[in-house]
Structure 1
Amino acid sequence: MFPIYELFNYLNRHPSDKTYSKIIVYLFTHQKEIQHLTISQIAKRCFVSPATMTRFCQAFGFSSFSHLREALTINERIKSYNALRMRASDFQQLQEQPEIFLTNYAAEITSALKDILEKIDYLEIDQLLEKIQQAEKIILIGYTTTLELARNMQIAFSASNKLIHVPENEELQKKAIQQANEQTVILVLSSYGTILTSHVDLINQISHRPAHSVLITQHTQNLMTNLFDQVLNLTSTNYVQIGNYPLEFFCDYFVRRYASLNEKRK
């Protein structure tokens, strides 16, 4: 999988005059051209050495420059509406009838939120929040879009004097999980459960720790969910086009409910 988020994360957190930042900018602004260039040619255009380009590839998980070029080629050929979780017919409707598209889009969000209200087990949620309150350490794991959601939850929990750890890359996540014990709760956020197949080693590591593990996800039927102690399937079906709306809605309730319960304890 093309680690586009890792590249953008680096770009967003480092000055634009950093060597790797310059390379990332060049790669994304010359995706078609790169398909026909060698590593030496790209290095020359980025004013770096081929050895620096090789180190850049390895730093972002590419085994070689050829691997990077192949990933960029695939990324460039993906239709824009595919990246936005849209069908071609929906994209055409958006182009020609934006008011109808937006009405349908809003209706799907509404359906998803109603679905959550019908599925939610308030007692189960409160019991989980009690575990979180009593736990010595909470590890919250998110990827790509859910990582930002995890950061927001971290800040929200801090307002209730509860520290949440959000390791931001797989190396830090594995290290945090290795240190987890019986007094730890591990929460994993996943929109559609793809983490279960894209990070199998991490999920297996979680399953072998004595911590209480919880997967919070929108609808998924992946059999690997049995590796968690608890699974919160927020919806009864997939709402692919609206992305993280259901998960964000639930997590907002989750942290607010924790705050309300925490105030009662005082």
Structure 2
Amino acid sequence: MIAMSAHNMIKYLNHQTEENVQTKLIHFIFNHYHTLQHMTIIELAQRCYVSTASVSRFARNFGYHSFDDMKNSIATEMTISEPYVTYRMTKQSLKELSSHPDEFYRLFADGIITSIKDTVNTLPFEAIDMLLHRILQTDDVILFGYDIMIDELRIFQSTLLSCGIIVRLGETPDVQLELAKHLTSHSTAIVFSSFGTFFAKLPTVYSHIVQSNAHLILVTQMPGSNIYTGVFDEVLPISSKTNVEAGSYPMNFLLDYMARRIFVLQR
């Protein structure tokens, strides 16, 4: 199985109203992730007043191969070593945020606005319409993304459902892998990846997608071609330049537009 991220443990907590073994372990792991990597399974079990078997089941339930696999993965995910990676900030931006938060906020807002406005001149509107027509005309449409992008795609999926349009979305890496394995020549697979994290984090899913006979579409904020774009039947870059600090706001804005546009096209 593909290991789920710490983000999915938070999702699990959001669906629980009472404490159980899993919620107890999740709380402890998040509160002690700095030292988790140095703990044994016996130590963690004793600290949480559960059995070692419960810890092993917990790890497997969240997609990890073993306790060691889980603790190493969680430690890596939770440790913020480079703010540029985690918060998409340069050293200068971090310094600005520390000393002049109001100025940072203004510049941050300006960057987001600029990146969204950039899509106005870059967005391939005809290609987007073709994509939406394909969604309307294809029975088997599967959306792929990673981490927070899944949340945005879930909203898009729900909006389509209100129009009577059904598309599938794997909310976990394991489900995405199964969906990728079952793609056929009658399927359309649409990957939404702002900066390519999907390819880096889910290489097995990506591999099955590109090996399938499905019609493959990539929607991205990365302009130009790279090692991933060549295997897609269609590549829709929505930005003229990569603005990592602005994040995925242009993609979120696009999904909102697409939901409104497909409603009009369907009428």
Q: What is the TM-score with the length of structure 2 in the denominator? A: 0.89
Structure-2 separation of matches of 1:211 and 1:78:
38
**Which stretch shifts more, 237-246 or 206-215?**
206-215
State the Cα distance separating 1:36 from its structure 2 match.
Answer: 4.2
State the Cα distance separating 1:51 from its structure 2 match.
Answer: 2.1
Structure-2 separation of matches of 1:43 and 1:182:
48
Structure-2 separation of matches of 1:71 and 1:181:
33
Count of aligned residue pairs for this structure pair: 263
Residue type matched to 2:142 in 1?
I
When residues 260 and 245 of structure 1 are mapped into structure 2, their CA distance, relative to the original with a 3 A threshold, is same
Structure-1 separation of matches of 2:199 and 2:43:
39
When residues 131 and 16 of structure 1 are mapped into structure 2, their CA distance, relative to the original with a 3 A threshold, is same
**Could you report, residue by residue, the CA deviation over 1:127-180 in whole angstroms, capped at 9, with x for unpaired residues?**
121111111121112221100011000111112211111121233223323333
Contact 1:15–1:21, Cα closer than 8 Å, also in 2:
no
Which stretches in structure 2 are left out of the alignment for 5+ residues? none
Aligned to 1:208: 211
State the Cα distance separating 1:202 from its structure 2 match.
Answer: 1.6
**Could you report, residue by residue, the CA deviation over 1:233-253 in whole angstroms, capped at 9, with x for unpaired residues?**
111222112221011011111
Aligned to 2:71: 69
Aligned to 2:59: 57
Structure-2 separation of matches of 1:183 and 1:208:
14
Q: Do structure 1's residue 133 and structure 2's residue 136 form an aligned pair? A: yes
Residue type matched to 2:187 in 1?
T
Contact 1:193–1:222, Cα closer than 8 Å, also in 2:
no
Aligned to 1:104: 107
State the Cα distance separating 1:80 from its structure 2 match.
Answer: 8.0
Q: Do structure 1's residue 174 and structure 2's residue 177 form an aligned pair? A: yes
Contact 2:56–2:66, Cα closer than 8 Å, also in 1:
yes
Aligned to 2:165: 162
Q: Do structure 1's residue 187 and structure 2's residue 196 form an aligned pair? A: no
27, 30, 48: which is aligned to 1:28? 30
95, 116, 121: which is aligned to 2:98? 95
When residues 49 and 204 of structure 1 are mapped into structure 2, their CA distance, relative to the original with a 3 A threshold, is same
Contact 1:2–1:71, Cα closer than 8 Å, also in 2:
no
Residue type matched to 1:162 in 2?
I
State the Cα distance separating 1:44 from its structure 2 match.
Answer: 0.9
Report % sequence identity: 29
When residues 177 and 8 of structure 1 are mapped into structure 2, their CA distance, relative to the original with a 3 A threshold, is same
Q: Do structure 1's residue 196 and structure 2's residue 181 form an aligned pair? A: no
Q: Do structure 1's residue 149 and structure 2's residue 167 form an aligned pair? A: no
Which stretches in structure 1 are left out of the alignment for 5+ residues? none
Give the superposed CA RMSD.
2.2
Contact 1:27–1:34, Cα closer than 8 Å, also in 2:
yes
Structure-1 separation of matches of 2:128 and 2:77:
39
Aligned to 2:14: 12
Structure-2 separation of matches of 1:2 and 1:155:
23
Aligned to 1:3: 5
When residues 76 and 196 of structure 1 are mapped into structure 2, their CA distance, relative to the original with a 3 A threshold, is closer
State the Cα distance separating 1:22 from its structure 2 match.
Answer: 1.0
State the Cα distance separating 1:219 from its structure 2 match.
Answer: 1.0
242, 248, 266: which is aligned to 1:244? 248
Q: What is the TM-score with the length of structure 1 in the denominator? A: 0.89
State the Cα distance separating 1:225 from its structure 2 match.
Answer: 1.7
State the Cα distance separating 1:76 from its structure 2 match.
Answer: 5.1
Structure-1 separation of matches of 2:153 and 2:78:
29
State the Cα distance separating 1:194 from its structure 2 match.
Answer: 2.0
Contact 1:203–1:227, Cα closer than 8 Å, also in 2:
no
**Which stretch shifts more, 176-185 or 199-208?**
176-185
